[in-house]
Amino acid sequence: MITIRIQREDFDVGAEVAALDAEDTGAVATFTGRVRKEGDLVALTLEHYPQMTEREIGRIVEDAKARWPLMGVTIIHRVGRLLPGDNIVFVAVAAKHRGAAFEACQFLIDYLKTRAPFWKEEERGDGTRWVDARHSDDKAAERWRDT
């Protein structure tokens, strides 16, 4: 079962894991990304490209399914204005064994960060600015190319 949702509302990690349960599932790995509480950060506003976002995430999930035997994937990404400590993104992978679940979960978040069309704008005490892409995120995604 593949679930991809882009939403303004928060999500419930426990409920999402329970919904992913299927016969033969021996492992569920999850990743939850949150807005870091740092310095004078007031909020993050996430913009996206609505028509493309779900299609691009769908392509990333297909890539993951071609690499690992997956039984279920749930990806939720929030948009709109989020506060420090808020959930931003959730990735859950169900598989028969932990190796596939862990690896596919990391692959999905690494690729989502470098390919899914979302942009963060930071709101700080002195104004707003668009967050720059990080070289370390590109490196994290690149290492999967040779595997």
Partner 1 sequence: MTLLYFAWVRQKTGRGEEQLSLPADVKTVSDLVAFLSRRGGGFADAFADPRRIRVAVNQEHTGFDAPLGEGDEVAFFPPVTGG
Site stretch for partner 1 (CB under 8 A), options 7-15, 18-26, 60-68, 107-115: 107-115
Buried b (16+ CB within 10 A) or exposed e, 46-57: bebeeeebbebb
- Does residue number 116 form part of the binding site for partner 1 (CB under 8 A)? yes
- Does residue number 119 form part of the binding site for partner 1 (CB under 8 A)? yes
- Does residue number 118 form part of the binding site for partner 1 (CB under 8 A)? yes
Please state the closest distance from residue 131 (CB atom) to partner 1, in A.
5
Q: What are phi and psi of 89, to 5 degrees?
A: -140, 150
- Does residue number 104 form part of the binding site for partner 1 (CB under 8 A)? no
- Does residue number 107 form part of the binding site for partner 1 (CB under 8 A)? no
- Does residue number 88 form part of the binding site for partner 1 (CB under 8 A)? yes
Tokens of 43: 């909020």
Strand pairing of 41-48 and 80-82?
A: antiparallel
Tokens of 79: 């948009």
Please state the closest distance from residue 90 (CB atom) to partner 1, in A.
11
Q: Three-state DSSP class for 123?
A: strand
Nearer to partner 1, 1 or 133 (CB): 133
Site stretch for partner 1 (CB under 8 A), options 21-29, 34-42, 64-72, 112-120: 112-120
User: How many CA atoms, within 13 angstroms, populate the side-chain half-sphere of residue 12?
Assistant: 4
Cα-Cα end-to-end distance for the chain: 25
Where does this chain bind partner 1 (CB under 8 A)?
A: 33, 46-49, 51-52, 55-56, 77, 88-89, 109, 112-121, 130-134, 137
